[in-house]
Chain A
Amino acid sequence: MKRRVPEGFWWVLPALVVLVSLSIYPLIYSVKLSLSNPGNFSRLFSDRLFAAAGVQTIVLTAAALTVEFLLGLALAVLIDSLARGRAFFRTGLLVPMLLPPVVAAVAWRLIYNPQFGMLNGMLRQIGFNTEWLTWTSGQNSALASVILVDVWEWTPFLFLLLSAGLQAIPPEPLEAARIDGAGAWRIFRDVTLPLLKPTILLALLLRAMDLVRIFDQIFILTQGGPGTATETVSLYIYRTAFRFSNFGYAAAMSFVLLAATMLFSRGLMRVMRSR
């Protein structure tokens, strides 16, 4: 066994030092913070607000992911099948994803304003009564409105990945199926989708990981409100730390979030390794 340090180690060392001091050390610090009050971890189980935040996060993640996936897949197939103008459509479709999330949220806040916003304005023009359409200010519609913004912003991401995945599919199996007389839908279901599976998995895991810790857009759109209608786990942690000044409990909760993200990242690694 070589006892010497591998030559590559010295090249990697600076990066390791930076990461250990700025990612790992804070993590350990966080553990210390959460343990400063032993009641913190038991409180996690009886905290109604935390449970509600957790449920809302799961609902948001599941809903946004499903819609973004289906729309993204549909768009990928659609744009791929166009003979001309693919680059044009693709450039336009990518815009929402490239914006700073804060700017996207600001644009939608303007759109959603119940009295002066563009959405209710347009709906009123075509005859709808918009008095009940409160979007992000209404308790029942706030979460759905936030999900809509995320769908608008991140469907392009899934579109892009799935599109690349579609293009990476070798033409032979498709040709073979076509020669065998299979219809377009059957080809899609039995040949394309299975070949696309690794990309799909990758896209879903990446997106899920980001959705679970969503913060920027909700902060701008509703700050977790009205009340706690759109308060996801990240926002509840933020509020506990910076409005109620309870850093220890916030740290304890953030480990639950970390556990969830690690689950997704573990899956992600496995998918990427298998290629």
Chain B
Amino acid sequence: MKTALKYLAASIAFIVAIAPVYWLITISLKREVDQFAYPPQWAGFVVTLEHYKEAFGSSSFSAYFLNSVLLAGISTSAALLIGVPAAYGLARFEWPANWGDRIGDWILSTRMLPPIVTIVPLFLMLREARLLNSLVGLSIVYTAFNLPFVVWMMRGFFDEVPREIEEAAMLDGESRVGALLRIVLPLVKPGLAATAVFCLVVAWNEFLFALILTQTEAAMTLPVGIASRVTQYEIKWGAMSAAGVVAMLPVLVFASAAQKYLVRGLSLGAVKG
């Protein structure tokens, strides 16, 4: 009896978690007259793809989508390029007076800056550099955003690889960099992949910086595009929900791929899982 109750409770929780997402998907597939229908139709309605066609055809959502993809890819690559060596440097070398840990902590603390604190200066800085409303400018900001995370995550993974492995390789004539590239990195590949996935997801979901630092189609991202459809007076739910569904699919796919490392990533490496 108790087991049945437990499964019931778990199922209710499951449904509550999924229902709003399911509802969003149905709205994106319903005709307008059905969207406002009472009682709410959960299934058995006429399916239409007009909202997807409108969002990605006549509206600018395909541009927003492309921008989000490029932005996530570029900022993640840059963050890894700069962050992995930094993590290695902190993990592997001798640091006097605990400096290694102190630098590591400082790097992590920048992650905790509320975006709203730096947004106005960043806006003004990017404007001076003529990088406002550009993917390049936004990528730079996102890279800085993701960097602390990469350093922290990868340092943990590097710490798990015993030093002897590179030392053996270097005794055999390998350079430090070579040892890193050819020996250590392959060993931390899963960790690297998880870190990359996290960075991609963070860049994909980001909103505030994109909201302020972009002004036109040239750089607006998917979250910003979706937000711009949320109007006070008219209820244009179709295109908005279609874009929302497309916005959430890559994340769900990516995140389920990195599920194993979800806990470590979200808790900044403090809890292994």
Q: Does B93 contact A (CB under 8 A)?
A: yes
> Looking at the complex, which one of A33, A110, A164 makes contact with B237 (CB distance below 8 Å)?
A110
Q: Is B153 an interface residue (CB 8 A)?
A: no
Partner of B263, one of A89, A161, A234: A161
Interface-centre pick from A23, A82, A247, A262 (highest chain B CB count, 10 A): A23
CB <8 Å contact, B235 and A258: no
Q: Are A15 and B151 in contact (CB under 8 A)?
A: yes
In the complex, chain B residues whose CB is within 8 Å of the CB of A107: 20-21, 23-24, 241, 244
Q: Mark B83-118, 1 if CB is under 8 A from A, else 0.
A: 101101110111110011001010111101111111
CB of B227 within 8 A of CB of A206, answer no
A268 to B103, CA, bound (A): 16
Cβ-defined contact, A257 with B20, below 8 A: no
Q: Contact: B114 with A6, CB < 8 Å?
A: no
Whether B18 pairs with A95 at a CB distance below 8 angstroms is: yes
For chain A residues 97-118, which have a beta carbon within 8 Å of chain B? Answer: 98-104, 106-111, 113, 115-116, 118
Interface class of chain B by DSSP = helix
Asked whether, in the complex, the Cβ of A29 is within 8 Å of the Cβ of B117, the reply is: no
Which A residues lie within 8 Å of B35 (CB)?
Answer: 116
**What is the distance, in angstroms, from A113's C-beta to the closest C-beta of chain B?**
7
Contacts of A264 in B (CB 8 A): 112
Contact string against B for A residues 57-89, beta-carbon threshold 8 Å, 1 for contact and 0 otherwise: 000000000000000000100110111010001
Q: Which of B45-53, B162-170, B187-195, B251-259 contacts A (4 or more CB under 8 A)?
A: B251-259
**B183 proximity list for chain A (CB < 8 A):** none
* A182 within 8 Å of B (CB atoms): no
Contact of B89 among A10, A121, A220 (CB under 8 A): A10
B89 touches A9 (CB 8 A): yes
B13–chain A nearest beta-carbon distance, Å: 6
A-B contacts counted at CB < 8 A amount to 273
Is A82's CB under 8 angstroms from B7's CB?
Answer: yes
Closest to A221 in B: B230
- In this complex, what residue of A is CB-closest to B240? A106
B248 & A33 in contact (Cβ 8 Å cutoff): no
Give the chain A neighbours of B23 by CB distance below 8 A. Answer: 107, 110-111, 118
Interface assignment of A128: CB less than 8 Å from any CB of chain B: no
Q: Is B185 an interface residue (CB 8 A)?
A: no
Q: Smallest CB-CB separation from B7: which chain A residue?
A: A82
Q: Which residue of B lies closest to A217 (CB)?
A: B207
The distance in angstroms between the C-alpha atoms of A250 and B117, with both chains bound, is: 9
Tell whether B272 is near chain A: CB-to-CB under 8 Å.
yes
Q: Is B218 an interface residue (CB 8 A)?
A: no
Could you give 10 example pairs across A and B, Cβ below 8 Å? A7-B93, A29-B125, A30-B117, A85-B10, A89-B14, A121-B39, A125-B40, A251-B120, A261-B114, A265-B112
